[in-house]
Amino acid sequence: MKVNMKVIFETVCLSFVVLIAVSCGGKQASVERITLDGLIQGTYYHIVYYSPTTDNSLQVKQGINRIFKAVDASLSLWNEESVLSKANNGENIELDSIFIDNFNLSQEISKLTDGAFDITIGNLVKAYGFANKQRIKLSDAQIDSLLQGVDYRKVAITADKRLKKLPVTSLDFNAIAQGYTTDLISSYLLSVGINDFVVDVGGEVFAHGSKPNNEAWLVAIEEPSVDSLSEQTYKKAVYLRNESIVTSGSYRKYYVENGIKYSHTIDPRNGKPVTHSLLSVSVIAKKSYEADGLATAFMVMGLERSKAFLAHHTEYDAYFIYSDTKGNYATYATAGFQKKIQSN
């Protein structure tokens, strides 16, 4: 589950929409703060950027909408006409560049995490009912049968851009697609000369440049909640500049059985929901797709394995919230993450 990230836009000398950056000692000219909000891909998006003019804001919004439509047409599981739906159904369809990009990036993360991240779990997710919120209890025999189609090493893209897979395999890009979308929008904004912005697509956040006072963007991290209906609370926030943060957690989407909390996160290696004490993880990376995929992988791996991974991959930083042996919340952050946390 991707947890909604609340982006904080605290700016010195803010006066309605216009920010006079010269008086703040920051940028060299007046800039406009432009906000774009909406619902897309079954979630929300929230984009803020600073520009010397609003003259091109309509064109920017249209460009962003084209990206959303293109990603949906390629990767949506709910759109029966999407490239992914047709490929999963075994149609001999030529794959588009968005599908191929997400496939290749997913394979990289799968190899990096020794299979803790795996896009071939589509039929497992569907069978458990997490997608439609109608959970079904699976027997060991059912899980074993579904696992026959789960293995990222058994899928490939052919030279003529076709998906090669087992008939029982179904792909699911949900753990990377929104991060990828955030990256696409960020690249688009840079291509049209917008350098100071933050993009949030369903909790996958990328921040570039700075606010008009030259401060980095400040992004808040949601705290664990009692249940999925509890109000969101935020106690930690991190400064970001030219990087992404994504939070994944089990505390807003799970079921309880015999007193045990089962996450919606499925371990691709045994086909079962994870049951460890890790409640959420926030990952900082240079790209949103990386943070997105690794956040899911860490939820599968659990705290100790994730810490061991991060010790060898210092290019990533992470913040973990978990339940200790007494049932209390505890946290662990990498050194790099600690440096980015807003001081009180």
Domain boundaries of the chain, sorted by first residue: 75-164
Quote the CA–CA distance of 29 and 90 in Å, as a whole number.
55
Please report the pLDDT score of residue 48 as a whole number: 97
340, pLDDT greater than 90: yes
What is the predicted pLDDT for the residue at 36? 95
Query: Which residue type, as a one-letter code, is found at position 171?
Result: L
Say yes or no to pLDDT of 78 above 80. Answer: yes
Query: Does the structure show a pLDDT above 70 at 139?
Result: yes
Across the chain, what does the average pLDDT equal? 85
DSSP SS3 for 110: helix
DSSP string, 168-217: T-B---TTTHHHHHHHHHHHHHHHTT--EEEEEETTEEEEES--TTSPPE
**Higher-confidence position of 97 and 263:** 97
For 328, phi then psi, to 5°, come to -95, 155
Measured distance CA(290)–CA(283) in Å, rounded: 9
Residue 76 has pLDDT above 70, yes or no: yes
For residue 152, give the nearest of 269, 327, 319, 290 by alpha carbon: 269
> What's the pLDDT score for residue 134?
57
Higher confidence at residue 111 or residue 225? 111
Share of the chain above pLDDT 90, in %: 67
| Whether 268 contacts 288, CB under 8 Å | no
Q: What is the mean pLDDT of residues 53-81?
A: 93
Provide the 3-class DSSP secondary structure of residue 310: helix
pLDDT of residue 19: 25
Q: At what angle do helices 97-112 and 177-191 cross, to 10 degrees?
A: 120
User: Is the pLDDT confidence value at 88 over 80?
Assistant: yes
Query: Would you say residue 20 has pLDDT above 90?
Result: no
- Cβ count near 17 (within 10 Å): 10
Q: How far apart are CA 181 and CA 163, in angstroms?
A: 21
Q: How far is CA 271 from the centre of its chain?
A: 22
Instruction: Express each pLDDT in 233-274 by its tens digit.
Output: 567 899 999 999 999 986 555 555 555 555 678 899 999 988
pLDDT at 316 over 90: yes
Pure H helices in the chain: 57-75, 83-88, 97-112, 122-128, 140-147, 177-191, 288-301, 303-312, 335-340
Mean pLDDT of 106-135: 87
What burial letters (b/e) apply to 31-59, b meaning 16+ CB within 10 Å?
A: bbbbebeeebbeeebbbbbbbeeeeeeee
pLDDT of residue 12: 26
Spell out the residues 6+ positions from residue 342 whose beta carbon is closer than 8 angstroms to its own.
Answer: 218, 236, 237, 238, 239
Quick: pLDDT tens for 158-180.
Answer: 999 999 999 999 999 999 999 99
Instruction: Determine the residue type at 39.
Output: L
User: Higher confidence at residue 163 or residue 231?
Assistant: 163
The Cα 343–Cα 218 span in angstroms is: 12
The CA radius of gyration of the chain, in Å to the nearest whole number, is 21
pLDDT at 151: 97
Fold of 75-164: T-fold (1.10.3980)
Cα–Cα distances (Å) from 152 to 166, 225, 254, 342, in that order, read 11, 33, 25, 39
